[in-house]
Structures are given as structure tokens and as C-alpha cells.
Amino acid sequence: MSRRAWTVIGVVLLVAFAGFAFASFRTSLTPYVSYAEAQRAPRTVQVAGALEQGSTSYDEVATTLHFVLRDPETGATMPVEYDGVKPANFEDAISIVAIGRWDAGQSRFAAGKLLVKCPSKYQGAEVKEYS
């Protein structure tokens, strides 16, 4: 095959790959959204907030955790269900990022992953990831 043909094949492959990579980027992207947006968006998003005091309940047998997130700025709240073992020192969290999607049937946010930021004197705060 001629050099030109190889170049064309190479460019086509690169463009195809770039398209694939971009599509993967879009589908895998979990944007930070407000609670209202999270409830409208049918996709995986992340929401952040503070733990509503006293809202935590944990089912040890099924290992599911329920709690309510409160947006410190707007005061909006949203119930969250996390399917997993309750993170250590969860009640002490100063902020929580929940990654998941809104479950309209149960009317709560189903989180698959939590980032829990606990107060720490080591460089301000300590973030731990749970999935």
C-alpha cells in the first residue's frame, strides 16, 4: 500500500479513537449538581452537603445506610441511601460527597460511592473514599 493510504488509515483510526474517548469521557463524567438538578437528571451525578444531624440510620444486616444531606448554602435537603458498610466516624463528617443517581421510585438518592471528609488537624481535613 502506498504511504498516503497508510496515513489516511492512521488518521481515520486516530479520529475514531478520539470520538470513542470523548464519548467515554461524557458517559463517565459525573458532574457536581444541586439537589434539584440531581432529581431531574437521569444519570450518575455527585452531590455534596453536610450531614443532617440525627438523620442517620444503618441496617447492619443488609448493610445499607440512610441519611439526609443538607446543602449548607441553600438549606435544601435530600434523603440518601448508600448500599454498603457505614463509614467509620460517619457522624463526625464535616462534608459528604455522594456519587450515584436519583431513584424516583423510592424518592431518594441511591449512592454507590461516598467521599467523607472528616475533621482532622492534619492539613485541615481528611477525605476518605468508600465504594
Partner 1 sequence: MTALAGYYLPGAIALWCAVVFALATLWGYADLHRGDESARPFARRSYLFFTLAIVASAIVLGIALARRDFRVDYVFQYTGLELPWHYQIAAFWAGQKGSFLIWLLFGALIGVPLMRTAGRHEAPVMGIYLLAQLGLLLILVRENPFTMLPQAPADGQGLNPLLQDDWMVIHPPIMFVGYALAAVPFAFAMAALFKRDTSEWAARAFPWALAGFLVLGAAILLGGYWAYATLGWGGYWGWDPVENASLIPWLLGTALVHGLYLERTRGRYRRINLVLASLVFLSVLYGTFLTRSGVLADFSVHSFVDLGISGWLIAIMAFFGGMAVLLLGTRLRHVETADNADPALSRGTFLVLATIAILVCAIVVTAGTSAPILTRFLENPGQVGPEFYNRVNLPIALLVAFLLALVPFLTWRGEEGLRAVLRKAAPGLAFGFLATCGAVGLGVHDPFHILFLFLALTALATNLTRFASLARVGKVASAGGYLAHVGVGIILVGFLASSAYDESVKVTLVQGQPVDVGAYSLTFERFLERQGREKERAEVTVSRDGGKVWTAYPKIFVNERSRQLMVNPDIRSTMLADLYLSPLEYDPGRAAGFGELSLRKGEVTRIGEAEIRFVGFDLEHGGNAMAQMSAGDPVSVGAVLEVTRGGAAERVEPVYRFRSDGEVEFPPVTLAGGGRIAVGGIDATAGAVRLLVEGLGEAQGIPARLSLDVTRKPLVQAVWWGMYVILAGGILALVARAKQVRRLGAAAQPSGS
88 binds partner 1 (CB under 8 A): yes
Closer to partner 1 by Cβ: residue 79 or 84 = 84
28 touches partner 1 (CB under 8 A): yes
Nearer to partner 1, 53 or 123 (CB): 123
Separation CA 110–CA 107 (nearest Å): 9
Decide whether 33 or 50 has the Cβ nearer to partner 1.
33
Our finding on whether 70 is near partner 1 (CB under 8 A) is: no
- What part of residues 49-68 is at the interface with partner 1 (CB under 8 A)? 60, 63
Q: Are 100 and 86 in contact (CB under 8 A)?
A: no
Cβ pair 80, 60 in contact under 8 A: no
Q: Which residues, at least 6 apart from 85, have a Cβ–Cβ distance to it below 8 Å?
A: 63, 130
Task: Identify whether the C-beta of residue 97 lies closer than 8 Å to the C-beta of residue 111.
Answer: no
The sign of the dihedral angle between the CA atoms of 101, 38, 67, 88 is positive
Query: Interface residues with partner 1 (CB under 8 A)?
Result: 1, 6, 14, 17, 20-21, 24-25, 28-33, 37, 45-46, 48, 60, 63, 84-86, 88-89, 97, 99, 115, 118, 120-129
